[in-house]
Structure 1
C-alpha cells in the first residue's frame, strides 16, 4: 500500500489489474481529455507490464498506481506522479462507472498529503478546459492557475500549480 483515504487505497499495479486497467485505458470517454489513445487489450497488457517493471527501477520518474475501494477491493482507477525538473505532475483516471462518487477530490487531496510527506515541493496538474470536473477538483485542492495554452491536440488547456 502506498497510502489510503477513508474509502480508497492506493497501491502498486499488479497483473490481476489487467482487465479493469484495459477497461480504463480502452474507454474513449475516460481518455477524451487525456494524453494517449484507446489501445487494444494486448497493447494495454504490454503497458501494464512496463508500468509494473518501473517500480523496481531506482531511477524511475513515472509512477502509476492503482486505486481501489477499501470496502470491496474493486479497482476504480489510477493516479500518476510524474517527476519533472523541479516539480511532480499529478494525474488521475477513473473507470467511467465510478464517476460522480467524489473519488477524484478524495484521491487528489490524499495525494497532496502523500507528496508533502515524501518531500515533494511542487505539484502541477494540466487540465483541458472542457474537463470542468477535473478543474474543479484542482481548484478545491487549492491549486492555482499559472498558464493557459493550446495543447498538441489543439485544445485549450490550463496549467495548475500547488506549492507544498
Structure 2
C-alpha cells in the first residue's frame, strides 16, 4: 500500500506546528524519506491549494486553517484523484464462466459503497483533529496558541516537539 497519504499528513502537521517555514530537507528528516519525495508531495498539495510556498523563500505554510483541511482534501491531493479509489477489479475475467461474467458488477457495487464510506469518514476528520490527537499523545499544550507559545519558549531546534517526552508512544 502507498504511504503518500500518511507522509502528507505528517508533513502538514510539521508545517502547521513549526515556528518557521519547514523546507523539504527538514520535513524529509522527520518523515524518514528523501527531500525529493517530499517535494513531490508538497507540489501535489500546493496544486490543490492546501499549502503555499514562495519563490526565494525556503519552506511551506498552510494556505488555510488546519481545521478547514479535511483528510479527504489531503487524500485527493496526494493521489491526484477526484474520489477515493481503494479497490481495483481484475480486467480479464472469463465471460464464458458464470462468475467471470458477473464479477465486475458485483464487486463494482460493493467496492464503490465501501469507498463512499471511506470518503465520508475522511471528510469528517480534519488536519486539526490529527494535530489535537498528536498533542494529547506527546503532551503538547491543547490549544494552537498555547502550542505556539511553548514552541517559542523552547530553545531547541524548530521541530523540537518531535523529540519531546512521550514522542512516538
What TM-score, normalized to structure 1? 0.28
Greater strand content: 1
What TM-score, normalized to structure 2? 0.28
In our comparison, the structure showing a higher alpha carbon Rg is 2
Greater helix content: 2
